[in-house]
Each structure stands twice: as C-alpha cells, then as structure tokens.
Amino acid sequence: MSAYETQTATPAGEVPVDFEPMDRSQFLLKGALAAGALYGAAAVGPVVRRAFAQGGGGASQNDLDILNFALTLEFLETDFYEVAQKDVKLSSEYAAFAKEVGQNEQEHVDALSGAITDLGGKPVAKPTFTFPLEDEASFVELAVTFEDTGVSAYNGAGPLLENKDLLATAGSIVQIEGRHAGAIRFMAGMQPVVEAFDPTLDEDAVLKAVMPFIKA
Amino acid sequence: MSITRQKGIDQDPAKKGALQRLADDPVSRRKFVAVTGSGSALTLFLAACGGDDDESTNTSGESTTSTTEETSTAADTSGTEMFGKGDLGIVNYALTLEYLEAAFYVDVAKSGLFKGAELTLLKQFGANEEAHVGALEQTANSLGKAAPQPKTEFPLDDAKSVAMLAATVENVGAAAYLGQAALIESEEVLAAALSIHTVEARHAAVLNMLVGDPITPDGAFAVPMSAEEVLPAVSDFIVS
C-alpha cells in the first residue's frame, strides 16, 4: 500500500567502522592537541550567539562537551568543503554547493566556538583532517556521508542537552544539515531521505564514522 | 473572528497572490501569515477538537490578532494547548500538520500533474508523511487521544504552482517542528520529533531546488515558526 514499506533504507554512509573505538575525552584531546587555529568570536551569527548566551548563568559540563563535540564535526565539514573547492575539479553545480554549504558550516563553527566561550567553556582546537578526495565522485560520497552523519549526530545529542535554549539553537543548525543532506543526495541521484525517521547516532558511532578523517 | 474565507480556494485571487509571493520568497513566510490571517475553517476545526474550553477560546482569540511582532516574542507556551496539554498538545499539533501533508501528497499524486521521476519523488515524500502520521497517532494515543484527521482541500491548478505549494508546506513544516523542539518534555517524544524534523528539512531542500529557491532560505541557521504563526498559514487548506 505505502511506498515507505518497501523503501529500502540507504545506509547513512559507507564509512569504515573497523577500527579502535575511542571515547569522547580522547577525541577532544586529539582536537586540542592539534596545532591550534585560533578562532575569534567576531564573525559569529548574532542571533545564535545571543540564543546560546541566554543559557542563563552558563552551561553544564555535559552541555559544553556536547557543544564541543558538535564544534568538532563542524570543523570537519568546514575543512572538507574548503579542501574540496581547492583540490577537486568540481562541476559548477557541485562547486556552488561546496561554496554555499561550506559557508554555512563556517558560520556554525563560529557560532559554536563563540557560544562555548560565552558559556565559560573552552572551544576545542581545530583538528587536522585528511580526506580521500580524488575526484567529484569521492567528493559527493564524502559529502553525503558527512551531512547524513551530522544530522544523526545532532539528533542523537539533542535530547541529552540540559539547557533548552541550546536545544533550540542546535535544532536550527541540524535543520540546515538536513537540508544539505537532502540536497546533495538529490543532486547525486540518490534518495533524498534515508528513512521516514532520520536515524540517530550516539557519540561512539559518530566517532567511529569520523575518526578516519582526523589526522591529529 | 472571520470565517468567511473558507470557500473556493482556487477562486480566491488574493490568496493565490499570497501563495505566489510566499513561493517567490520563502523568507517571507511570516508575511504570508499576516496576509492570510487566521480565519477560516481551521478555527472551527480546532474548536471542534475539544479539549479544555477555556484554553481553546483563549488560543483562538490570540491567533486572530497575531502579527509578526507579537508571535515571535510569544512566551514559553507551545501555542498547541487546544490540541491537549503539554506533550500531547504538541504531538497532536504535529499530527494535524502531518495529516495535512499526507493528504496533500495523495491529492497531488492523483492530480495527474506530475509524471516519472517527479511523481516518484512526490509519492515518496507522501509516504514519509504517512509514516509520520502513523507514529504520531500512536504516540498521541499513548499520551491521551489522537487528534481527528481534518478534511482538506488544496489548489491544484498546474505543476508549477503545486510544486511551489509543496515547497511552502515543507518549509513551514520544518519550521513548525523547530518551533516546538525546546518545548517538548519527554525525551522520547523529543527524539522522535527531531528525527522527523530533519526529514521535513530534506523534503524542503529538494522541493526548493525544484522550484529554483535556495536550499537554505534562512541562511546557516533555520528560523522556527510558532504554532500561532503556523496554524493560520495552513488554515486555508482545512475545510472542516
């Protein structure tokens, strides 16, 4: 009767999962140890910054950890689109996507790091990434993986946020990740929707998905 | 409160103009709300949904005077109290929107305006909405009682305007979920709402591409819509 009953779920991405698991503190440490790009808070999206700052007397360590976790993913996405624009010969359609989406991710980075600082935390340093980017096909495959993973990561972390203002703001970011994910899949001739309900990933699963791309 | 605008969606030139403007500029969703006002059958439908009489009256009254300024500064209420208290109200509000979306795609598929890959895509989106309806009905019934399915009617004149309407409906849908997320109390309901929210976002982005709009019309941070903004915007499609 309904197409969704026969619709086969496309895997969120073909990311390797057979490597040593790593917990969040190691992950964050790895980021912090990376030669640190210093990120000023000047360019932060003002609305989001304000929303974050309305946290009312700072945020819990739990929430700060989640924000730093999100920041690391946004670092990854930002770096990915930057490298792709530089190193890969993309068709004009994908080049435009990489440019626009990369700018969105950079704004997420700025907002998250500014917010972490405002809330009395310390933003993780930007890790050094490595991407197996050879051609447009590998760009598309990785972009799909990262956007789908971003959606699932935010959706998994959302209910764990204690501060509801942070949840609202994380929501306004994850909707953008969802839009990116749907768009890149559609451009690539894939199903824009993985499942009727976006799968969620917990931190361990997200770490497994992104660790191959973190060099230091 | 005006209930005079519930007839003949397609014959109403003012409304078509509003939809057109909305489709042309998705960022102006709030203007659309102001243009269409809050009259129409939805108010009656909501009143018929029962629940707490005082709350129903109160909320309906508020929505007649809704403006951008007032609604965007609305306090911590979900604006969904007429559908039930707390999470039940929010779930039934979402369910009503999903009923509407699912019915829309059924009508669109039947309209014969789309073929091939576009039709397949629209049917897939419709199937997603049906899955959302099923899950939300179940959740609502576990919390209380699921809202009834409204009777709907959509302007289905030509492929272009229907695609634009689809984009509008999905963008509003995504904004509606975003507007409720922080108000949900149950962690489970929140997780479900989030996993639906990003599917609506995927739909919205693809439909925006199809009609030539930006995939992220609000930029890097999506803008939520309150129930007071959403309900008047969709009321024209609910006939009873």
Cβ contacts (< 8 Å) between A198 and chain B: which residues? 194-196, 198-199, 202
Q: Residue B205 burial by CB count (10 A; 0-12/13-18/19+): exposed, middle or buried?
A: buried
The HSE-up count of residue B82 (CA atoms within 13 Å, CB side) is 22
Closest alpha carbon within chain B to A49: B221
Q: Give me the numbers of helices (H) and strands (E) for chain A, helices first please.
A: 8, 0
Task: Please name every residue paired with B152 in a beta bridge, in sequence order, or none if there are none.
Answer: B238
Query: Which of B124, B214, B224 faces A7 most closely, judged by CB atoms?
Result: B124
Q: Which residues, at least 6 apart from B93, have a Cβ–Cβ distance to it below 8 Å?
A: B78, B79, B80, B83, B147, B176, B180, B227
Give pLDDT tens digits for A72-126: 999 999 999 999 999 999 999 999 999 999 999 999 999 999 999 999 999 999 9
Task: Give dist(CA A111, CA A98) in Å, integer.
Answer: 20
pLDDT number for residue A105: 98
The stretch A4-11 carries a mean pLDDT of 36
Cβ–Cβ contact B128 with A under 8 A: yes
Q: Say what the pTM is.
A: 0.77
The stretch A31-55 carries a mean pLDDT of 36
The C-alpha of A20 sits at a distance from chain B's nearest C-alpha, in angstroms, of 28
Taking an 8 Å cut-off on Cβ atoms, the answer to whether A171 and B182 are in contact is yes
Taking an 8 Å cut-off on Cβ atoms, the answer to whether A4 and B216 are in contact is no
Name the residue ranges covered by the structural domains of chain B: 81-237
Cβ–Cβ under 8 Å, residues B54 and B23: no
What CATH homologous superfamily does B81-237 map to? Ferritin, core subunit, four-helix bundle (1.20.1260.10)
Q: What is the pLDDT along chain B (240 residues), one digit of tens a residue?
A: 333 333 333 334 344 333 444 444 444 444 344 334 444 455 555 555 544 444 333 343 344 433 333 343 344 577 899 999 999 999 999 999 999 999 999 999 999 999 999 999 999 999 999 999 999 999 999 999 999 999 999 999 999 999 999 999 999 999 999 999 999 999 999 999 999 999 999 999 999 999 999 999 999 999 999 999 999 989 999 997
Confidence of residue A216 (pLDDT cuts 50, 70, 90): confident
Task: Give dist(CA B10, CA A63) in Å, integer.
Answer: 49
Cβ–Cβ under 8 Å, residues A4 and B127: yes
Query: Which of B125, B201, B214 faces A178 most closely, judged by CB atoms?
Result: B201
